[in-house]
């Protein structure tokens, strides 16, 4: 209970309960801090409720539907395969509920105070947390800002009705007949490809010269090929200009290399990036935090802002917008607050796209390593030469390792193919530990498994490949 308007005391105020905020709260509680975590929405943030988890559930359902339709090569025929999309959505929502319920239980189990509502700074050491029912004040010793991000809205394509963001795309009541996706990055490709597998006619407009521009072309061309197989029409070097809306559809006008074109669809999905949630009623302007011109909060290598007892993590600070980056930064910040010497080190930060086939990378790519003047050695091994991949009818893709030719150290690795998201973990560990190519080649990998491709690629980089012919 709050007497009058006196402030309650707390060691740590965490603003935002996504994969950054809730992890920070738990780690801080483990280190002896009294913690209050506040979020205006559901525990787990965008990732668990409107991003990572629901999207992967829909992707899994689309894969299952596709496999059921195309199992003839294995001698399995399934007739009259149907999708009950209402049941798909209900199943997806049950997965989300399970995950968010788990976060709630973890917060409770770690004796963390929770408040569902919003936060507004009063000064550098006090904030008011409020909802429709109450508005107590808290005095904090430290604070971690983990308010995440939201989809960027294009002026010519304002959200509403049939112009949607990823949030609405994950909750459509029916499978659209057609959809235009503006932006061929990971969100646009994951959702566009998923709906295409369910039967939607999808058109992707991407401004660069290939989809998933954050990855090298040799990786993304396999995704582009599979997009074409499921009927996705991809326009690269395309610029969306304007739209005309009716009650039933949207017509998009766009240009490709100066030539004007149009496409009409049930929905337009805009996926051109995300904006940090550092504006609005939070009141960061009242405490004069140092910000970048993009609205990101400047921090040091422990997550500390220009106000030493206030920290920031995740999508509100510079760097990639990744849930696992936010969780990593959360633990560093919580430990720094407790007096530990923890600092961030992003050299082994994996990036994953749940496209078909999946793409994953960690450390330096070949292009990045060469740009740094490193003399590289490359090991590359195809899924088509791996027994387990072929037994899964999944022979598309490859593993690529990038090593320092002089020292033999593993600099990075990229994988395109089924289960790339799981396989990248071994390479992330290897990069983090400073392993060399020989360490990987000498590690006994179980047979038959997909992980053998990593060993085979290392052997290739060392010049003595076993399961493929050397040059």
Kindly list the catalytic residues.
Answer: 447
Facing residues of 253 across strands? 242, 262
List of E strands, 300-395: 310-312, 351-353, 359-363, 376-382
Of 235, 239, 269, 272, whose CA–CA distance to 254 is shortest? Answer: 239
Q: In what order do the strands lie in the sheet with 163-164?
A: 163-164, 267-270, 178-182, 201-205, 233-235
- What is the distance between the alpha carbons of residues 384 and 30, in angstroms, rounded to a whole number? 47
- The pair of structure tokens assigned to 381 is 């091994």
> Tokens 């893709």 sit at which residue?
397
Q: What is the DSSP string of 422-437?
A: HHHHHHHHHHHHT-BH
- Burial class of residue 171 in the structure, from the number of CB atoms within 10 Å of its CB (0-12 exposed, 13-18 middle, 19+ buried): middle
- What is the distance between the alpha carbons of residues 189 and 151, in angstroms, rounded to a whole number? 15
- What is the distance between the alpha carbons of residues 217 and 355, in angstroms, rounded to a whole number? 14
Helix-, strand-, coil-residue percentages of the chain, each rounded to 5: 35, 25, 40
- What is the distance between the alpha carbons of residues 228 and 394, in angstroms, rounded to a whole number? 18
Of 337, 365, 387, whose CA–CA distance to 144 is shortest? Answer: 337
Q: H-helix or E-strand containing 56?
A: helix 52-69
């Amino acid at each position: 209970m709050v007497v009058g308007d006196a402030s309650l005391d707390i060691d740590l105020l965490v603003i935002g309960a996504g994969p950054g905020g809730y992890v920070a709260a738990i780690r801080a509680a483990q280190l002896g801090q009294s913690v209050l975590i506040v979020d205006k929405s559901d525990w787990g943030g965008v990732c668990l409720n409107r991003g990572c988890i629901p999207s992967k559930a829909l992707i899994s359902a689309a894969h299952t539907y596709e496999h059921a339709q195309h199992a003839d090569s294995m001698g399995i025929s399934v007739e009259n395969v149907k999708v009950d999309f209402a049941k798909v959505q209900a199943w997806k929502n049950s997965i989300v509920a399970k995950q968010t319920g788990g976060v709630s239980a973890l917060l409770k189990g770690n004796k963390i105070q929770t408040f569902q509502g919003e936060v507004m700074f009063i000064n550098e050491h006090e904030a008011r947390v409020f909802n429709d029912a109450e508005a107590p004040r808290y005095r904090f010793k430290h604070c971690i800002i983990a308010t995440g991000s939201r989809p960027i809205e294009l002026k010519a394509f304002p959200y509403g009705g049939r112009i949607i963001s990823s949030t609405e795309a994950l909750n459509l009541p029916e499978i659209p007949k057609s959809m235009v996706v503006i932006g061929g990055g990971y969100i646009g490709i994951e959702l566009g490809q998923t709906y295409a597998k369910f039967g939607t006619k999808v058109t992707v407009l991407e401004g660069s010269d290939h989809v998933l521009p954050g990855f090298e072309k040799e990786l993304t061309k396999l995704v582009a090929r599979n997009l074409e197989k499921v009927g996705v029409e991809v326009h690269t070097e395309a610029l969306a200009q304007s739209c005309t809306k009716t009650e039933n559809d949207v017509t998009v006008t766009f240009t490709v290399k100066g030539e004007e074109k149009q496409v009409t669809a049930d929905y337009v999905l805009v996926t051109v990036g995300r904006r940090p949630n550092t504006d609005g009623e939070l009141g960061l302007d009242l405490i004069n935090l140092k910000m970048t011109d993009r609205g990101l909060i400047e921090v040091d290598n422990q997550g500390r802002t220009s106000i030493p007892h206030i920290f920031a993590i995740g999508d509100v600070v510079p760097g990639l917008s990744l849930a696992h980056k936010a969780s990593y930064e959360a633990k560093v910040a919580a430990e720094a607050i407790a007096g530990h010497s923890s600092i961030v080190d992003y050299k082994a930060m994996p990036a994953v796209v749940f496209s078909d086939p999946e793409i994953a990378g960690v450390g330096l790519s070949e292009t990045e390593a060469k740009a740094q003047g490193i003399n590289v050695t490359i090991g590359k091994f195809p899924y088509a030469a791996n027994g387990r991949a072929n037994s899964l009818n999944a022979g598309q893709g490859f593993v690529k390792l990038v090593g320092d030719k002089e020292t033999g150290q593993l600099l990075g690795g990229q994988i395109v193919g089924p289960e790339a998201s799981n396989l990248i973990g071994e390479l992330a560990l290897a990069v983090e530990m400073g392993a060399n190519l020989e360490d990987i080649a000498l590690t006994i990998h179980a047979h038959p498994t997909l992980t053998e491709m990593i060993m085979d690629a290392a052997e290739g980089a060392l010049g003595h490949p076993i399961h493929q012919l050397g040059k």
